[in-house]
Amino acid sequence: MQEVKIVEFLSLLVMVPSVLTVVVLIYLVTRGLPERGNEFSAQHALIAYSYTLIALSVIAGAVGLVYFVRIGIMEAYELDWAYNDVILASVLTGTGMVLSVLHLLTKNTVKSGAEQVAATAKRQYLSWMVFGFGITTLVLVPLAIYQAIQYYRDEIYTAPATEISVAVVIAVVWTYYLLRIFREV
């Protein structure tokens, strides 16, 4: 039961940034651009949009990877898992990958002539990804370890497959972005 709640929470968590992105983009296009004059153009908004959607695509792909890792861990614990989880994991991971590639291509096409803006957006993107995944890792890894210890001490009877899979995927994604930001410095 607890695993289902965590998975539902992750699904809702993916929707929140999407809604916020749409609201911010609508604001930038309708209110922000005319007030800023030439300082902030539609090209700059498209670069920001591309980085935002890349981030959201990475999150969607990470949720799909969580499902794949969860299936593997459930198999290791000899627990039953639904075939629909494989389909959902494939769809989320595939969607995340396709959208990331499309928005990377969009960003690379649009950034000519606005390299300074693209570099700033990239630094902000990397910083936010390190920050978001870092905080999440800081919370989820100790929780997964605690759940695993409780399980092996026979204090709880449900295997911590979801907690461990989420912690592993988030920690790997955080490490990737941390290494990228170190490379940029």
What would the 3-class secondary structure string for 134-158 be?
A: HHHHHHHHHHHHHHHHHHHCCCCCC
What residues in the chain have per-residue pLDDT under 50? none
User: What's the chain's length in residues?
Assistant: 185
pLDDT on residue 49: 82
Q: Which pLDDT score, from 0 to 100, does residue 36 have?
A: 52
Please tell me the pTM assigned to this model. Answer: 0.74
Question: pLDDT tens digit string along 81-117?
Answer: 888 888 988 998 999 899 899 888 888 888 777 888 8
The pLDDT of residue 97: 92
The secondary structure of residue 112, as a DSSP letter, is T
